[in-house]
Structure 1
Amino acid sequence: MKKVTCLISMGLILGASLFANGQQEVTVGGTKVGGYNVAYITPSLDVPFWRYIRHGIESEVKILNANSSVVTYDSKNSANTQSSNVQDAITKQVDAIIVSPTDSASCTNVLELAEDAGIPVVICDIGTDGGTYAAFISTNNKAGAKELGEYVAMKLKKGDEVAQIALNQARINGVLRKEGFNEGIATVGAVDVGFKQMEKVNRQEGETYTQDLITAHPELKAIFCHSEDPSMGCCSALESAGRTDVMVVGFDCSPDVVEAIQDGRMLATAAQQPVLMGRKAADCIDKILQGETVEKEIKMNTLLVTQDNIGSIYTTLKEVALTDE
């Protein structure tokens, strides 16, 4: 009896120590039954899309386990900062990492660091060139861009010139968007005359590259922007140049994009579902930490948002793509 009492006392002391140190977790048979700490490593919180994913992660973690916490690291679009953020998360002994890589090549280093530390990783968007991870939640970028290309192709004719303001082609998602869109416009015989590759993915790049494209290609009929903020910069540049003849289509969504589609400045966008992606990433982490098996590759479709359907699809967009509060 004394031995049992001693063991119970030791357990109580250990539990009190864990909670005192902020590690609100208890492990039974390798399964977490208390709280856990998750790090979300994001490329840049200046981009609305990543804020939407963060919201999905944070809200779902609290629903799944009220004792758990999420800390978000902003990598400022720097692979070096991303690596430092991961090292900091590891030092703080987080239980799991969700990463949206700054680029696919540098993600392999993130995965190696986490694997060496025994920390499970879920990748949420963009993808990696290699490494070990527990799950990868991604948009079906090629299919979404192809559907968008087919839609704009209905407004074009054979030989019409189209250009792209693309994500960095070191990112797998950027490559897939470019390829998918080109397949879509090929259905009518439109021609992709060139693309500009973004680094910061902001409105200024969208504006500057649009000016470059319409100067180099005065007969341009449409521009495909790979992200929401650059799409707004593209619209501004075309308005300033008086080019109402150039159609703008985008990838991703934001309140500004919705407004631009409603007032006719944008033709359409392929809206990802970042809030839902974040929720799925958090759900994967919860299952992994409970010792459950998760699907390794999870692909999500985009929502084609146009001037014709914006009214009927808006409620859905607010739930899966636009909430970051």
Structure 2
Amino acid sequence: MKKLLIILCVFIAIIMAGCTGKGSSSKSASAQQAVKVAYLTPSLDVPFWRYMRHGIEDELKKLIPGVEVTTYDSKDSASTQLSNAQDALTKQVKAIVISPTDSASCIAVLDLAKEAKVPVVICDIGADSGVYASFISTDNEAGARELGAYIASKLPANSEVSQIALNQARINGVLRKNGFASAVSINGIKDVDFKQMEKVNREEGEKFAQDLITAHPNLKAIFCHSEDPSMGALSAIESSRRTDILIAGFDCSPEVVDAIRAGKIAATAAQQPVLMGRYAAQCIDKLLKGQPVDREIKLGTLLVTKDNINEVYNTLKEVALSE
């Protein structure tokens, strides 16, 4: 009888072990089936890219149950972004969203993804060439032109203005620079100088604004191509005790909103990074389902001034300021 009980216990243990093994295997298989998506961003130090990350990650999690989204910070380095792409492909991602560090270096990432047969959606900045499924961007030239026209309307004839520009190796930087310059050319207003950023941060904005104020004593406005440099330029102008220089920005942040409300920044052309991220996620979802996507999706900007900030603020929170 005792022998029979021992045999029965061993038999039950074997069955239970087998069931547990099946459960583990099933769980492991389920984990392996999780869809992996990578977002390659230039720099999470810049608020704009954090807003875009929110749009991408939040929308993907709504559309694809159990999706694993990994955001890779490229630290403003093209070589780091390429290394991040290699890492993502090694981990067998099913799709990539990229915001390039610059338009030329993006080509190498696109080539890698093409070789691995992984679809790519470009979200902002753009690439000089290469194969990609969709490109979501802002109409940078139109946004900068509208901003330039607004600033020009606030300046006397023959005023001097300048720009603190994005790296001109980025397509969006070229478009912003040209759009603003073309708009302010009315009434003899001259775009006399520009400085080209690399890190796109507050320190660069402050340093370059100081340089421009010193080099051009008659300067009446500075156009900064991004939100943090706009705040840096404001610090430089306040330190120089100049009250006659307008600041125009591109993009938005809570600090920029406060500065516009206070009349310290004249206006900004706010992109919609959260919305751009959502569109990128929707493209990825369609691509993974074998559905067609639009080759190009272009969004407008919101001109934000002290006069309209209360009207547009709720929209800004929804499409531009969530992270």
Tell me the TM-score normalized by structure 1: 0.91
TM-align CA RMSD: 1.6
Bigger shift: residues 14-23 or 244-253: 14-23
Say if 2:153 is the partner of 1:154: yes
Going from structure 1 to structure 2, the CA distance change for 1:71 and 1:181 (only over 3 Å counts) comes to same
Equivalence map 1:31-180=2 (5 Å) = 35-180=34-179
Please state how far the C-alpha of 1:18 moved relative to its aligned partner: 8.1
Mind listing any 5+ residue stretches in structure 2 that lack a counterpart? 1-20
1:177 is aligned with what amino acid? R
Look up the match of 2:280.
281
Structure 1 residues 127 and 14 mapped into 2: Cα distance closer, same or farther (>3 Å)? farther
| Per-residue Cα deviation, 1:264-321 (whole angstroms, up to 9, x for no partner) | 1100000000000000000000000000000011000000000100011100000000
1:204-223 maps to which residues of 2 (within 5 A)? Answer: 204-223=203-222
Q: Determine the structure 1 residue equivalent to 2:264.
A: 265
Per-residue deviation, 1:158: 2.6
TM-score (structure 2 length as normaliser): 0.91
Q: CA deviation at 1:24?
A: 5.2
> Which of the pair has more CA radius of gyration?
2
Aligned to 2:252: 253
Distance across 2 between alignment mates of 1:65 and 1:297: 23
**Aligned partner of residue 188 in structure 1, secondary structure:** helix
One-letter amino acid of the structure 1 residue matched with residue 128 of structure 2: D
Counterparts of 1:300 and 1:102 in 2: how far apart (Å)? 20
Structure-2 change in CA distance of 1:108 and 1:22 (3 Å): farther
Report if aligned partners of 1:18, 1:24 keep a CA contact under 8 Å in 2: no
Give the aligned residue type for 1:20.
S
Contact 1:105 1:128 in 2 (8 A): yes
Deviation per CA, 1:72-108: give whole Å up to 9, x if none.
0000000000000000000000000000000000000
1:162-195 residue CA offsets vs partner (Å, 9 max, x unmatched): 0000000000000000000011101332100010
Aligned to 2:197: 198
Instruction: Please tell me whether the aligned partners of residues 154 and 188 of structure 1 are also in contact (alpha carbons under 8 angstroms).
Output: no
Extract unaligned runs of 5+ from structure 1.
1-12, 26-34
CA 1:24/1:286 → structure 2, altered by over 3 Å: closer, same or farther? farther
CA distance in 2, matches of 1:167, 1:49: 14
SS in structure 1 of the partner of residue 242 of structure 2: coil
Q: Identity of paired residues, percent?
A: 66
More helix per residue: 2
Alignment check: 8 A CA contact 1:156 1:188 kept = no
Once the two structures are superposed, what CA deviation does each residue of 1:29-76 show, in whole Å capped at 9, x if it has no partner?
Answer: xxxxxx521100000000000000000001001111221121000000
User: Aligned with 1:242: secondary structure?
Assistant: coil
| Whole-angstrom distance in 1 between the partners of 2:234 and 2:30 | 48
Structure 2 CA distance for aligned equivalents of residues 67 and 188 of structure 1 = 57
